[in-house]
Amino acid sequence: MNFVKEKREIVTLVCLGLLLLIGGVWDKQISQGIMDQGSLFGTFFQNYGLIFPGIIIFLSTQIFIYYAKQSNLPSFAKGSIYFIAIIAGFYQIWQMIKIMLFYTVTSLNNKQNNQPIGAANNDGSATINFPQWFFPALVILSLLVFIIGCGLCGYWLKEKTHQEMRGLLMVGLGAIIVVYTANTLVDVMKGFWGRFRPYELQSNWSDYTSWWQINGANGHKSFPSGHSEQAWLGLYLPLFVEPLKKKKRQRIVFLASLFGCLVAWSRVRIGAHFLSDVAVGSIIAIMVIYVVSRLLNQRLDGEILS
């Protein structure tokens, strides 16, 4: 019976394991065959595919605010929670918009300089000249998204009972664990593995290494894929929906999975990662979400575990 309940997770992990096996054998050939830094598909998801960590943490900060409103905490404690949650929520929106604008500017500069539109230094060693509109756009868009987000969350949370808010509070705390655990694992592995990205090898593939070869810290950070990991973090969003609304949760799972697949494939297409890179980035996010959802005693499809 437990096997049947877990079959979706098992099938997903088996599929990703097969991709990892395929990548170990044919990573180089796949990237050589499909890599295109001028791909509009790859550029779009490179520029705008890192939205979920910011959204997830922002939702959590709003939950903390509304939970504090309903609580009997002293005024100073409530005020402290409001202040910290508002600052943290706005910071997440700011970072999300900043990343999207950064990649957008990179694409515009590439087009102006007759370079492939999706060419980007993903490891941060190159310098970029930001246009004058960058900072004002960052401020205006961040404020606008923050205000709209607060309004939507207020509509969502205002009718929640105290019991429902207690459940959401645990989901919000779990969200922080998921995002920072997955991001930290990927960041540590990137620095430790030292794998060259496909686009860095276009003129000379002699530095190519398989995913299982650890090169140490050398400034190259292809393995695993951060974009893929952060895209698959969208699988945590169903936990913000009431467990009884199974169909709604299932729709979100489907859409989040589709988005994760598109982002992962786009990273291979644009030459930022190998197939094995995106497979491991996806596995990290999925496994962290799986563990935390079980600790919260929930399944993504809405079932409460006994």
Q: Share the mean pLDDT of the chain.
A: 91
Using 50, 70 and 90 to split pLDDT, how confident is the model at 130? confident
Q: What total number of domains does the chain contain?
A: 1
Q: Which helix (H) or strand (E) holds 195?
A: none
User: For residue 125, is pLDDT > 90?
Assistant: no
46-73 confidence digits (pLDDT tens): 999 999 999 999 999 999 999 998 888 8
How far is residue 137's CA from residue 11's CA, in Å, rounded to a whole number?
43
Residue 10 lies in a domain: yes
pTM of the model as a whole: 0.91
Using DSSP, state whether 165 is helix, strand or coil: helix
Residue 306 lies in a domain: no
Full residue range of the structural domain in which residue 135 is found: 2-295
Residue 88 lies in a domain: yes
CA nearest neighbour of 253 among 192, 185, 202, 301: 301
198-210 confidence digits (pLDDT tens): 999 988 899 999 9
